[in-house]
Amino acid sequence: TQRGLICGPKQFDEFILPWFQRFTDQAHRYGYQVILHSCGSIHQVIGRLIDAGVECLHPLQARAVNMDAETLARDFKGRITFLGGIDTQQLLVHGTPAQIREDVRRVKALLGPCLIVSPSHEALLPNVPPANAEAMAEAARE
């Protein structure tokens, strides 16, 4: 959820983490890197995921608890690559191109160079104005 894990950290460690570990170990044996997609606030277990071999985390739901760029930079910068971070719930839908460029620059400054700029979810939502999508892409290329 946007407020926390669906299961508790103990249940995560017992039932989920061993499978992530097996998956990442297998991927690494074949020379692959691992990108994990998990919506919501998973801050409590990001360190465990890094230790299990996850190299990239997608998405960064900017409005989920402790998934903002400042908190993630403070706690995990340099240990994992981030994919996402640009708010799709409010900013991309209702913001101006100037606001979006400013936010992309802010997120890049906090999380770069281990950041792939993209919307907070897996795709641009249909209600994102094209000018806002262009502003995000332009600022990402700067």
Q: What is the pLDDT of residues 26-83, one digit of tens each?
A: 999 999 999 999 988 999 999 999 999 999 999 888 889 999 999 999 999 999 999 9
Architecture label for domain 9-141: Alpha-Beta Barrel (3.20)
Q: What is the pLDDT of residues 77-86, one digit of tens each?
A: 999 999 988 9
Q: What is the distance between the alpha carbons of residues 50 and 76, in angstroms, rounded to a whole number?
A: 9
Q: What is the pLDDT of residues 93-115, one digit of tens each?
A: 999 999 999 999 999 999 999 99
- List the chain domain ranges: 9-141
Give yes or no for a contact between 125 and 93, defined as CB atoms under 8 angstroms apart.
yes
SS (H, E, C) 97-136: HHHHHHHHHHHHHHHCCCEECCECCCCCCCCCCHHHHHHH
Q: pTM score, two decimals?
A: 0.89
For 92, the token pair is 């991309």
